[in-house]
Structure formats: C-alpha cells, structure tokens
Amino acid sequence: MFLSPVAYACSTCMVGDPTQTLMGAEKPYKDRLRFSLDIMGRDESVGQAGVNQNNIDEVRTSFNLAWAPSQRMMLSVGVPIVDRQLDMATLAQEEVTSLGDVTINIKTFMQEKENFVRNMYGLLAGVRLPTATEQKVNGAPLDFDVQPGTGATTFNVGAWYAHYRFPWLFYISSAYHIANEGDQQFQAGDALVLNASVQYAANHKLSFPIGLEARWSDKDNFAGVVEENSGGVLAYIAPGVIYTLKEDLLINFAVKVPVVEELNGFHEEGSIITFGITYDFDLHK
Amino acid sequence: MISIYTNRTVLILVTLLLTACGADNGSRTPGVSVSFEAMPSPATAAVMTSGAKTIVSGANTIILTKAYVTITNIALQTDCAGSPIFSLAPIIDMLLPTAYAHTEATPTSTGEPFVIDVLATDNVAISVGQVEPLPADYCGASISLSAADADANNLPIGESVPNDMVGITLYLEGTYNGGNAFQAQTGATLPDRNMLLTPMLSLSASNKSPTVTIEFNYDTWFDGVDPAAINNTILFQNMLNSLQRG
C-alpha cells in the first residue's frame, strides 16, 4: 500500500497502528498534539427520599489538550465547564454554570521498545486544581452539592497497561486519589479508580469499545463530621462507539450504566451519557 | 511545522474555551417555606390602636397597660388524628416550672423565642418565625409558650417590665373598675396550644410560601376572672383558648 505524503502525516500512520484511540489511550510520537471536547451528562441523588433527598443533574463540557514531548510521555490538561442543577426536598432549586476544577495529568510509557509495539505500560500521575470558584448568592455559598468544584487539590497516582492488536485494543488503568480539605470544610474520602476496556474495530473507521469503570471511595466528611451518604463501591459498564468523521477527527458516544451500586447510606448514581470529538493536530506535514 | 490551518483551529478553540470560562454564575430559587405571624385581634371588641386597651368583661372594665406573651416555638404537625385536644386549648392542670429553653429549630419548628406585645395595634401582624418544611399536608400547628431567654426577639427593653421579660412567659399589668391596679405574671411553661389548621396547609410547588397568622383574642382573657383576686389558672386557660388562626 502506498501512502501519500498527506496520509503519512495522519496520526495513526505516525504510530504505525490504525487503532482508533480516544484521549488517554493513544500511542505517543514526539510532538503529538491532540484535542478533545467531551460532553457528559449524569444524575445523582443523595439523601432519603421524602426527608432530605437532593437530586443533582450535571452536564460537564471538558476541553482537553494532550501533548507528547517525546515517545515516552504524554502531558494533558483538562478544563471543564460545569452546569449543575440541584433540586432539594424542600423544592428549593440551585443552579450553577461555571469553570470547574482544571486537571493536569502525566502518563509515562515504560515499555522497552518505542516503535511498533503491541504491549505498552507505564505510570500515571495527576492533579486536580481548585480552579472552580465557590458559587454564592447574596454572599451565602450555595449548597456544596451544586458547586462546580470542591475547592480542594486532589492528587492521583497509578499505572496502566495496553495491548494493541488491531482490530482489538485492550486497556486497563488504575489510580489512587487523595485530596486535601476544600470549601465548606469538605474532606473527600480517598478513592481507588479502575478502568478496563476492550475495543473491537469493525473497520478502520468504526470501533466498538466496551468498558468497566469502577470506583471505591471512603466516606467524605464536613468539618470532621462523617457524611454517611457518601463513599462505597460503584461500577459502570460502558458500551460505546467511535467513528472517524475524517482523517484525525474522531467522534465518540457512550452510555455508562451502573451495574454495581454498593454506595453507603442513601446515595444513588444514574446512568452517564458521554459524547465527544477528538482531533489530532497535524504538526508533521 | 505548525500549519496556518492548525493555528486557526487553535485560535478558535481558545476563543471557545475563554468564552465558556466567562460563564460563571449561580442562582437559587427558594423552596417551600411557611411564615408565622402573630397579632393582637379582639374577638368581639372594637379594634384598637397601640397603647392601653380597654376590655369590658361582664361587670368589670379592665384597662391593660402592659401585656406581653412569649412564644418559644411553633411547630407544624402532620398527624392530628391521634390528638383529641387538637383544635382545643389544653386544660391547664399543671404548670411546668420555668424553663429558659431556646428550642432547636428544625425544618418544621421555629425554635426561636419571640415576645409579643399584645398592646400593639390590633390586626397588624408581625413575623415570629419561618420554617422550611418538606412539601406535605400539615393539619396543625403546636404553639409553645414558655419563659423568654436573653436571646429572645422583641424583648421589651426599657418598657419597665420585670427583667425585660427574661424568665417570664406572660406578663399583664393594668387597672380595673376605675383605677384599681393589678398585675399577673408567670414564668412557667404552659401546655402547648395545638391549633388545627383548617383548611389543611398543603405545601406544594403551587403553594410554596404561605403564611400562618396567629391571633391573640385578648378581649376574652378576663372572661370569668375576678380582677380583684385573679385566678391564674383561669386567666392562663383563657389566654391559651384565645390563640386562634387568623
């Protein structure tokens, strides 16, 4: 197969692997630069129905940029815009649209070879910064559940492994999250997050990933008082689809359905819908 | 080498991002709340303005020159069926000793003591508290009367009332039948006045912030009471009976 100069500049050509990869699962090459726009919708209820239940609806739009300074490292930054609505048991309603907490992540690639490798692995580390402004009305802070961020700095460290064997992609990562105290004396419980996915490509333009996203977290507390309706185990199964609209431009859609909800107290999380586009900047023509 | 196309794309994305970051706002729509108000309101006598009030009770003519009552709590109730005394004033057979209780506010109870000046202008309501309960049907309200503490609202400071009403539940002062002075007071906790709310107070999205007004029909307080030898039990019973929904 002959590759034209333009085709040779395509991101999959640069890594020698036609696997469609969303942000975070890509193979790096020096100066690889990717952008993604992800829109996520979710809902959650905390508290006892008919007593003190808060219902939260959230739409989060994230602008993400990832750059590889070398074939051994990817750096990424995520800037979310958060729209949250809180419906309280008293019929009071609060709504916020604001910049959320910015995340910065680093991912290393530690496999022996750099090119044409099928098995890749490395370490993950990241920080979520308290860039969201605590939202107030008439000087009084809105409920913590509707705030666009926690006001805390959260660190995470972990590891990942991927096996690329077109048309298959297997990916697994895990990270431990720990945070300091945030606004309203909130202290998030530590969390362990696991992501695993299998992706099958029907052809070079269409793939079907299915993932398992699980999280264990300790109980949160406010001013040292444990929030009983927090923490526990939650796992989603997440089938999706990825389609190449044009060269270097992917569109993806997924539905995450909770399959394990062993959350403490009165706390339920609903399904999550995600939609996104991922674009590779062409820096190598 | 970064192409012009890439530069333009980055510029568009940065513009989009900055525009989105500029969206920074929060809002709050209040939920269900019930406001409680209280006011002096004669049952049958003519309405009077603030100041000394004249009450004709049987053969006696009483002029009240000071009259204060302390409401320490108002609580909404959802179950009135099991209480035979709902809508009726309780029969006073025992007064509890003085309790300087600042009861705790809950979504259904005010928990905040408030001293009512019964000699204020009739039928002019003043706010005595607010609660933010869950949407539901509330059949009654329990009104607690006990001694004011130093943090009570509307203490009659500078009005020559003993201890500015601190430690006092009810204080009356005046004259009867042409200048004979009398005084009555208690610091006891009176039995709760359980008032039936008819029609029922239904709180919902279409009725989110109603007001419940409590009337003091003070012109009935001296019914059957000999002002020359005041029987506190009858007087206090009359006062409890006089609390009505406005």
Inter-chain contact B29–A93, Cβ cutoff 8 Å? yes
Q: A184-241: per-residue pLDDT in tens?
A: 999 999 999 999 999 999 999 999 999 999 999 999 999 999 999 999 999 999 999 9
Inter-chain contact A90–B6, Cβ cutoff 8 Å? no
Q: Which residues of B16-37 are buried (b: 16+ CB within 10 A; e: fewer)?
A: ebeebeeeeebebeebbbbbbb
Chain B partners within 8 Å of A92 (Cβ): 28-32, 132
Chain A partners within 8 Å of B9 (Cβ): 279, 281
Higher per-residue confidence, A255 vs B82:
A255
Q: How distant, in Å, are the alpha carbons of B76, B109, B208 from that of B112?
A: 14, 9, 22
> Residue type for A58, please?
E
Q: B197-209: per-residue pLDDT in tens?
A: 988 999 999 999 9
Higher per-residue confidence, A82 vs B17:
A82
Inter-chain contact A81–B21, Cβ cutoff 8 Å? yes
pTM value is 0.78
Cross-chain CB nearest to B23 (options A90, A97, A282): A97
| Across A19-23, A82-86, A157-161, B89-93, least confident range | B89-93
Cross-chain CB nearest to A282 (options B6, B17, B28): B6
β-bridge mates for residue A68, sequence order: none
* Segment A65-88 mean pLDDT: 96
Mutation site, B27, B203, B204, B206, interface A, largest A CB count within 10 A: B27
Residue A67 near chain B (CB below 8 Å) = no
Residue A9 near chain B (CB below 8 Å) = no
Cis peptide bond upstream of B135, omega within 30: no
Per residue, the 3-state secondary structure of chain B, as one string, reads CCCHHHHHHHHHHHHHHHHHHHCCEEEEECCCCEEEEEEECCCCCCCCCCCCEEEEECCEEEEEEEEEEEEEEEEEECCCCCCCCCCCCCCCCCCECCCCCCCCCECCECCCCEEEECCCCCCCCEEEEEECCCCCEEEEEEEEECCECCCCECCCCCCCCHHHHECCCEEEEEEECCCEEEEEEECCECCCEEEEEEEEEECECCECCCEEEEEECHHHCCCCCCCCCCCHHHHHHHHHHCEEEC
Q: How far is B206 from chain A (nearest CA, A)?
A: 11
Inter-chain contact B31–A95, Cβ cutoff 8 Å? no
What number of other Cβ atoms are within 10 A of residue B15's Cβ?
10
Q: How far is A47 from chain B (nearest CA, A)?
A: 13
Give CA angle at B48 (B44, B54), nearest 5°: 75
Per residue, the 3-state secondary structure of chain A, as one string, reads CCCCHHHHCCHHHHHCCCCCCCCCCCCCCCCCEEEEEEEEEEEEEECCCCCCCEEEEEEEEEEEEEEEEECCEEEEEEEEEEEEEEECCCCCEEEEEEECCCEEEEEECCCCCCCCCCEEEEEEEEEECCCCCCCEECCEECCHHHCCCCCCCEEEEEEEEEEEECCEEEEEEEEEEEECCCHHHEECCCEEEEEEEEEEECCCCEEEEEEEEEEEECCCEECCEECCCCCEEEEEEEEEEEEEEECCEEEEEEEEEEEEEEECCCEEECCEEEEEEEEECCCCC
Confidence (pLDDT) at A285:
52
Residue A82 near chain B (CB below 8 Å) = no
Inter-chain contact A98–B9, Cβ cutoff 8 Å? no
Inter-chain contact B23–A98, Cβ cutoff 8 Å? yes
Cross-chain CB nearest to B3 (options A93, A133, A282): A282
Q: Which of B17, B23, B60, B218 is nearest to A84 (CA)?
A: B23
Interface A–B counts its CB contacts (< 8 A) at 83
* Segment B67-91 mean pLDDT: 77
Q: For residue A226, what are its two tokens? A: 């444990």
Confidence (pLDDT) at B199:
87
Name the closest residue on chain A to residue B133, using Cα atoms.
Answer: A90
Name the closest residue on chain B to residue A34, using Cα atoms.
Answer: B10
For B4, phi and psi rounded to 5 degrees?
Answer: -60, -40
d(CA B39, CA B243): 10
Confidence (pLDDT) at A2:
39
Chain B partners within 8 Å of A285 (Cβ): 1, 3
Residue B87: is its pLDDT beyond 70?
no
Confidence (pLDDT) at B25:
86
Strand order in the sheet with B34-40: B126-131, B34-40, B211-216, B243-245
d(CA B116, CA B180): 25
Q: A148-176: per-residue pLDDT in tens?
A: 999 999 999 999 999 999 999 999 999 99
Average pLDDT value for chain B: 87
Confidence (pLDDT) at B80:
85
Name the closest residue on chain A to residue B18, using Cα atoms.
Answer: A99
* Segment B137-156 mean pLDDT: 94
Contact of B188 with B95, CB cutoff 8 Å: yes
Inter-chain contact A97–B3, Cβ cutoff 8 Å? no
Confidence (pLDDT) at B100:
56
Q: A96-150: per-residue pLDDT in tens?
A: 999 999 999 999 999 988 777 899 999 999 999 999 999 999 999 999 999 999 9
Higher per-residue confidence, A184 vs B101:
A184
Inter-chain contact B26–A142, Cβ cutoff 8 Å? yes
Residue A183 near chain B (CB below 8 Å) = no
Confidence (pLDDT) at A4:
40
Cross-chain CB nearest to B17 (options A63, A88, A146): A63
Name the closest residue on chain B to residue A147, using Cα atoms.
Answer: B26
Name the closest residue on chain B to residue A131, using Cα atoms.
Answer: B21
Residue B101: is its pLDDT beyond 70?
no
Average pLDDT value for chain A: 93
* Dihedral sign from CA coordinates of A263, A123, A274, A177: positive
Residue B49: is its pLDDT beyond 90?
yes
Q: How far is A163 from chain B (nearest CA, A)?
A: 31
Residue A88 near chain B (CB below 8 Å) = yes
Residue A94 near chain B (CB below 8 Å) = yes
B95 pLDDT band (50/70/90 cuts)?
A: low
Residue B22: is its pLDDT beyond 90?
no
Residue A9: is its pLDDT beyond 70?
no
Q: How far is A90 from chain B (nearest CA, A)?
A: 5
Q: How far is B168 from chain A (nearest CA, A)?
A: 35
Cross-chain CB nearest to A90 (options B5, B9, B32): B32
Cross-chain CB nearest to B3 (options A51, A137, A285): A285
Inter-chain contact A96–B31, Cβ cutoff 8 Å? no
Q: How far is B108 from chain A (nearest CA, A)?
A: 11
Residue A133: CA count within 13 A, CB half-sphere: 13
Contact of B170 with B239, CB cutoff 8 Å: yes
% of residues, chain B, pLDDT over 90: 70
What number of other Cβ atoms are within 10 A of residue B5's Cβ?
11
Contact of A106 with A67, CB cutoff 8 Å: no
Confidence (pLDDT) at B179:
87
Inter-chain contact A92–B30, Cβ cutoff 8 Å? yes
